[in-house]
Structure 1
Amino acid sequence: MTELENRVMELEAKVAFQDDTIETLNDELKAHQQRLAKMQRQIELLGEKIKEGREEGLMPQHQEPPPPHY
């Protein structure tokens, strides 16, 4: 093989490796985005539960100051 053919083959191998790397990174990014969306939804649900608890009087909206002997 000529030097030019060797260089082309090396470049093709690098491109194939980069394509594989990009695909792997893309899959990881998708997984992270899904986890992030799930966590955001959980935070929203927790916020709603806290709000409901305050509205129902289960949680004080403000804390009482400590007694004077503290």
Structure 2
Amino acid sequence: MDDLEARVTELEIQTALQEDLLATLNDTIVKMQQTLDLQQAQLRLLYQRMQEKSPGDADEPYSLMDEIPPHY
């Protein structure tokens, strides 16, 4: 009977460790999703700003020369 009790205890320990691991992995996935959502929003904003810069110049590629600060 002691052997059976030890096996059940070991299984309970393993289950608890697995539950903790799953919770940790879930938290990690939630943080990664939040980061991805933020990056996508930033990319959309950047794309929108680039489109606003040259609405009629669709044939001309974007140039960093257009971004020279006014003090130059």
TM-score by length of 2: 0.77
Question: Identity over the aligned pairs, expressed in percent?
Answer: 39
Q: Any conservation in 2 of the 1:54–1:60 contact (CA below 8 Å)?
A: yes
Find the counterpart in structure 2 of residue 14 from structure 1.
14
Moved beyond 2 Å, runs of 4+: none
Tell me if structure 2 keeps the 8 A contact 1:54–1:61: no
Q: Taking CA–CA contacts closer than 8 Å with sequence separation of 6 or more, which of the two structures ends up with the larger relative contact order?
A: 2
Q: Which amino acid aligns with 1:5?
A: E
1:2-58 deviation digits (Å, cap 9, x = unpaired): 100000000000000000000000000000000000000000000000000012x6x
Among 51, 60, 63, the residue aligned to 1:62 = 60
RMSD: 1.8
The number of residues matched between the two structures is: 61
Larger Rg: 1
Q: 5+ unaligned residues in a row in structure 2: which ranges? A: 62-72
State the SS of the aligned residue for 1:49. helix
